[in-house]
């Protein structure tokens, strides 16, 4: 294996992951594998979800955090641990520390969602809000570690973390021995690296496909360069995989063992999250839905049976509302129109009657009479409609035009 940087850590092997699995017995759940009839039909082969969104703390992060903290010496445990995270890693470290009787401090960004902050505190960590971006929060946590002697628990750049996350791969092989493709989201690379180490050692024929958000894809340029490189702009709703630079430790494993890294758009992430909720009844965060987004974007390119790893389900309710709206829009199930009509009694009711016949659900109506663009007897109406899909959107617009309304936008 190419395992940079040389000499820093010994190479990670299958025995490390199996040791982590024993350590996690009775601590981490063996999460279920659920089938998806809809995706199976699209792919033309069985598709199953590995539901780490149902793991304790709502994500896979507990696995790596517990293994890492378990490996600390008595002196290190006495000094406590510190981490920086906007959510999933924070909760994993908090619970793992509480289970092991270790004092934990977690730095979170000032704008971190309140449910995630509250959950981290409830798991037993002392939470400190610092910085508005994760880089500032990370710097504060590292400074705290330097000043206090607390052990910094990195979210992905350590062999113990990777070994813990790799236990997901062993479970997939046990639950679906016939698997031929595993699709997993990639941020810093800890989960993908761990799964690849475990799976490739037992089943080298299984394809491992990593997925990144196109707006925060640090792995494609890093793999092209042959070493981790940083990207400056990070724009994605998928906070769980919003990482600007691959970890040094997982990068070599991903480079060696992951067969392909794909990217998905924000629209594809939204549509995937909506599908998980509507068709699989799974609450999944955008990062956790990234493998589903990849399957939706090019279903025939996957060799089945396929396991899509739903890495987490910790999504803020307000963000969920915005994402679902975005997902429905991306799926062609929202239609926004502006149209002109004659300003007379009953005109608005008549227009709404056309929409009723077209079976469009009106979500919002804005009626404007006083605008310099309008004629003396004109009014403009802005409509937000719920539809059944792209074809229905066209049918609704055609029905309005057929009834004599001027659609202007």
Q: For the purposes of burial, counting CB atoms within 10 Å of the CB of 103, is it exposed (0-12), middle (13-18) or buried (19 or more)?
A: middle
> Could you tell me the sign of the dihedral formed by the alpha carbons of 9, 310, 107, 94, in that order?
negative
Annotated catalytic residue within 36, 50, 61, 242: 61
Annotated catalytic residue within 70, 104, 271, 311: 311
Contacts for 231 with CB less than 8 Å, ≥ 6 apart: 216, 217, 218, 221, 244, 245
As a whole number of angstroms, the distance between CA 17 and CA 197 comes to 8
Contacts for 243 with CB less than 8 Å, ≥ 6 apart: 156, 187, 188, 216, 218, 234
311 carries an active-site annotation: yes
Q: Quick one: which H or E segment has residue 51? A: strand 47-51
Which tokens belong to 22? 């024993």
Q: DSSP characters for 102-136? A: --EEEEE-TT--HHHHHHHHHTTPEEEE--SSHHH
Task: Look at the block and give the residue holding tokens 């009723």.
Answer: 356
250, 9 contact by CB (below 8 A): no
* Residues linked to residue 365 through DSSP beta bridges, in sequence order: 383
Q: DSSP characters for 230-264? A: --S----S-GGG--SS--HHHHHHHHHH--EEEEE
DSSP state of 58: G
As a whole number of angstroms, the distance between CA 256 and CA 281 comes to 35
As a whole number of angstroms, the distance between CA 172 and CA 186 comes to 17
HSE of 359, CA atoms in CB hemisphere, 13 A: 7
200 carries an active-site annotation: no
Residues acting as catalytic residues: 61, 311
């Amino acid at each position: 294996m190419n395992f940079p940087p040389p000499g820093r850590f010994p190479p990670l092997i299958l025995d490390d992951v199996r040791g982590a699995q024993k350590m996690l017995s009775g601590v981490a759940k063996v999460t279920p594998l659920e089938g998806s009839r809809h995706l199976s039909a699209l792919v033309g082969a069985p598709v199953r979800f590995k539901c780490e969104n149902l793991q304790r703390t709502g994500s896979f992060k507990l696995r790596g955090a517990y293994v890492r903290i378990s490996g600390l010496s008595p002196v290190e445990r006495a000094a406590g641990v510190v981490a920086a995270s906007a959510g999933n890693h924070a909760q994993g470290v908090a619970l793992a520390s509480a289970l092991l009787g270790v004092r934990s401090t977690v730095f979170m960004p000032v704008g971190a969602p309140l449910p995630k902050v509250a959950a981290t505190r409830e798991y037993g960590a002392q939470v400190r809000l610092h910085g508005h971006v994760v880089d500032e929060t990370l710097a504060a946590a590292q400074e705290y570690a330097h000043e206090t002697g607390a052990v910094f628990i990195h979210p992905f750049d350590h062999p113990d973390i990777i070994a813990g996350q790799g236990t997901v791969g062993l479970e997939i092989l046990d639950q679906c021995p016939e698997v031929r493709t595993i699709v997993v989201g990639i941020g810093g690379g800890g989960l993908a690296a761990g799964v690849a180490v475990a799976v490739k050692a037992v089943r080298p024929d299984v394809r491992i496909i990593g997925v990144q958000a196109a707006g925060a894809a640090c792995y494609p340029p890093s793999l092209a360069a042959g070493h981790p490189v940083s990207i400056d702009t990070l724009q994605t709703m998928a906070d769980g995989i919003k990482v600007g630079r691959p970890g040094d430790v997982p990068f070599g494993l991903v480079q060696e063992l992951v067969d392909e890294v794909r990217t998905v758009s924000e629209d594809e992430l939204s549509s995937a999250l909506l599908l998980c909720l509507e068709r699989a009844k799974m609450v999944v965060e955008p990062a956790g839905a990234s493998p589903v987004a990849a399957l939706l974007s090019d279903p025939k390119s996957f060799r089945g049976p396929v396991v899509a790893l739903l890495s987490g389900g910790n999504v803020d309710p307000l963000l969920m509302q915005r994402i679902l709206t975005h997902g429905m829009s991306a799926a062609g199930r929202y239609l926004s129109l502006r149209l002109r009509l004659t300003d007379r009694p009953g005109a608005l009711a008549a227009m709404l009657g056309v929409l009723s016949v077209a079976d469009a659900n009106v979500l919002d109506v804005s009626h404007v009479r006083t605008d310099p663009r309008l004629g003396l007897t004109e009014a403009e109406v802005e409509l937000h409609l719920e539809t059944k899909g792209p074809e229905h959107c066209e049918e609704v617009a055609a029905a309005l035009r057929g009834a004599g309304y001027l659609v202007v936008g």
